[in-house]
Amino acid sequence: MTDVRPSDSVVSKLFRSEQGGHEQVALCQDRDTGLKAVIAIHSTALGPALGGTRFFPYASDEDAVEDALNLARGMSYKNALAGLDHGGGKAVIIGDPVVDKTPELLRSYGRFVASLGGRYVTACDVGTYVADMDVVAAENPWTTGRSPENGGAGDSSVLTAYGVFQGMRASAQVRWGDPTLRGRRVGIAGVGKVGHHLVEHLLADGAVVVVTDVRADAVERIRAAHPGVEAVASTDELIGAQLDVYAPCALGGALNDDSVRNLTASVVCGAANNQLAHPGVEKDLADRGILYAPDYVVNAGGVIQVADELHGFDFDRAKAKATKIFDTTLAIFERAAADGIPPAAAADRLAEQRMADRTPAESWLRPTVD
């Protein structure tokens, strides 16, 4: 066999990196509509890969492929710990959604997803919305995140916020011996679709809420509905404020060397994806005595919600499953304590264990023989 030398290429990462291990990557192009997309399937060990479609103006094609690979891998872990019979996948469409998104492009994308025969089930992500999924669904039966009028679950931020609240309750149980945020001071960075629902849950539970957002109108909406909610000018100011819980609900990378050093909160639990800016941050949190609820565990309510569409959406059934995020978060904290490792590492171990216990491409993928 010819010796293939390692490189920094995406192909090298796919086949030889520990971050790789993906089953399939599809590069999709339709010159007529301008579509350029990447569909990455990390694992189908638990069932068809499920994950959203991101529409983003990447600086390079290589950046788009790498993002799809990383996001797909993350979805495998998220779906495994959410108790879903789904593997992990993700798609990215390269372009500016404001300028480049058209119904024709979305329909073309839908046909590419359909060509995978159900190995990948798509949904919304950054740059795509419920109305877009309705268009994709016209060409692809393996589409979730659709509007209620088209048999979908609608806005998945509802159960995303609910799941984060359940993770926060579990964190309170471990930190203070009681699964409630009553009287606790909770700072939320980002009060958009998910964050504003989280505010409602916390206020109903008796928490004191402090918010910030780069969009002034998002903060004004919260303050108009709840004058008792405090607001600060920036995330840096929020991090440095006296808090019991810090909830990053905006961009990824929220937990970095500087923010961890300046945190006053003793619990971090939020909806943002990929909160750990780099490896080692989880240990820094643990060394400072800060309890970190892994993001992909507590923010899984949204994927639970869209996955339920495949069975004929029932909100109560999906909410009951999202409620179990409380138990899953507790189990991760218990595993972390028993193994002497940070919760993020414990979550990875539990997810990997569930995936390893199943044989890839089980009966869902095999043709039926009469």
In sequence order, which ranges of 183-274 are alpha helices (DSSP H)?
Answer: 193-204, 216-225, 235-240, 257-262
In the residue annotation, 90 being an active-site residue is answered as: yes
Distance of CA 254 to the CA centre of its chain: 14
If DSSP codes are grouped into helix, strand and coil, which group holds residue 19?
Answer: coil
Determine the Cα–Cα distance for residues 177 and 187; give it in Å rounded to an integer.
Answer: 20
Determine the Cα–Cα distance for residues 90 and 67; give it in Å rounded to an integer.
Answer: 9
Cβ neighbors of 153 (< 8 A, separation 6 or more) are 144, 145, 146, 305, 306, 308, 309, 313, 315, 318
> What is the H or E stretch that residue 161 is in?
helix 157-176
End-to-end CA distance of the chain: 41
**Other CB atoms within 10 Å distance of the CB of residue 24:** 16
Catalytic, out of 13, 90, 101, 321: 90
Catalogue the active-site residues.
90
